[in-house]
């Protein structure tokens, strides 16, 4: 098949193109049949020198212009793009847009995940340090929590900072008969993974914080995620 395409020339980062007629089976830098124009994209606007008569002659013989050359021909003739080419460009543009949106969303989710894990790791480290420094001396002044509600509120605050839909999140604390506090976390289905975290790191950090706070007030707490 004979095609009308661009042949790149010029220096690195300063391309200059010849518009050529060539056998599609030949290498891109191989022998050409005829040169029908030039295209310099570095100009403002781009500089196009095209022999329309020769181009039309070759197209009449069955030569197929590449997409870029077809756009150049339409520009020179001041005509709309061929319908099939316009649709192909539109489809490609839409595909690129979707791919870009997906890439941006994935990057944002990855950044949010890393931030949540880092925050959880920092909170867990602080909680472990606080628990290590804690003393069991009677009458010691309470410094973190005064009641079950304080621990429940602590967990509630952590959950609301992690999830994307805090309005749908509920954290309920229940006083058990054995004197322990049971806290249940319920979140939107799309936020369950954020609360669990990679390898369960986020929920583990929440439990560590809650237990450290509860131990300073002399009671035990269990934290569970309703799935």
CA distance 227 to 219: 26
Does a structural domain hold residue 178?
yes
Neighbours of 197 (CB within 10 A): 19
Residue 76 and residue 7 share a domain: yes
Average pLDDT, stretch 190-208? Answer: 90
Judgement on whether residues 121 and 79 belong to the same structural domain of the protein = no
Q: Are residues 69 and 113 in the same domain?
A: no
Confidence of residue 140 (pLDDT cuts 50, 70, 90): very low
- Statement: residue 144 has pLDDT above 60: no
Query: Within this chain, do residues 30 and 72 fall inside the same structural domain, yes or no?
Result: yes
Q: Report d(CA 184, CA 213) in Å as an integer.
A: 16
Q: Kindly report the average pLDDT of the chain as a whole number.
A: 84
Task: Please indicate whether residue 120 or residue 153 has the higher confidence score (pLDDT).
Answer: 153
Residues 55 and 15 in one domain: yes
Q: With bands split at pLDDT 50, 70 and 90, how would you rate the model's confidence at 141?
A: very low
> Using an 8 Å Cβ cutoff, are 70 and 50 in contact?
no
- Is 124 within a domain? yes
CATH number of domain containing 15? 3.30.1320.10
Percent of the chain whose pLDDT exceeds 90: 31
Residue 68 sits in which domain range?
Answer: 2-87
Q: Kindly state whether residues 221 and 112 are assigned to the same domain.
A: yes
100 within a domain of the structure (yes/no) = no
In a domain, 101, yes or no: no
Between strands 34-40 and 14-23, the pairing is antiparallel
Question: Per residue in 48-98, pLDDT tens?
Answer: 999 999 999 999 999 999 888 998 999 888 888 877 777 877 887 888 888
For residue 159, the domain's CATH number is 3.30.300
Say whether both 117 and 79 belong to one domain. no
Tell me, yes or no, whether 78 and 127 share the same domain: no
Secondary structure of residue 139 in the 3-state scheme: coil
In a domain, 117, yes or no: yes
Residue 27: its pLDDT value, please? 67
Q: Tell whether 95 is covered by a domain.
A: no
pTM across the whole model: 0.40
116 vs 55, 70, 170, 224, CA distance in Å? 60, 50, 19, 19
Please say whether the beta carbons of 202 and 196 come within 8 A.
yes
Predicted pLDDT of residue 145: 44
pLDDT in tens, 160-186: 999 999 898 999 988 887 878 899 999
Tell me, yes or no, whether 170 lies in a domain: yes
Based on the fold, state whether residues 83 and 150 are members of the same structural domain.
no
Number of compact structural domains in the chain: 2
Residues 120, 196, single domain; the answer is: yes
Residue 142 has pLDDT above 70, yes or no: no
């Amino acid at each position: 098949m004979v095609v009308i395409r661009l042949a790149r020339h010029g220096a690195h980062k300063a391309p200059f193109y010849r518009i050529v007629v060539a056998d599609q089976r030949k290498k891109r830098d191989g022998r050409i049949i005829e040169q029908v124009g030039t295209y310099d994209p570095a100009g403002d606007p781009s500089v196009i020198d095209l022999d329309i008569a020769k181009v039309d002659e070759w197209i009449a013989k069955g030569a197929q212009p590449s997409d870029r050359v077809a756009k150049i021909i339409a520009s020179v003739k001041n005509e709309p793009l061929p319908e099939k080419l316009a649709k192909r460009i539109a489809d490609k543009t839409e595909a690129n847009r979707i791919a870009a949106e997906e890439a941006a969303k994935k990057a944002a989710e990855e950044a949010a995940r890393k931030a949540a894990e880092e925050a959880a790791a920092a909170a867990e480290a602080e909680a472990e340090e606080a628990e290590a420094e804690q003393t069991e001396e009677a009458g010691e002044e309470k410094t973190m929590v005064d009641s079950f509600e304080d621990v429940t509120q602590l967990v509630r605050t952590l959950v609301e900072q992690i999830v994307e839909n805090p309005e749908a999140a509920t954290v309920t604390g229940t006083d058990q008969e054995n004197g322990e506090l049971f806290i249940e976390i319920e979140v939107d289905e799309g936020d369950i993974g954020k609360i669990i975290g990679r390898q369960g790191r986020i929920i583990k950090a929440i439990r560590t914080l809650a237990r450290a706070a509860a131990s300073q007030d002399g009671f035990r707490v269990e934290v569970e995620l309703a799935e």
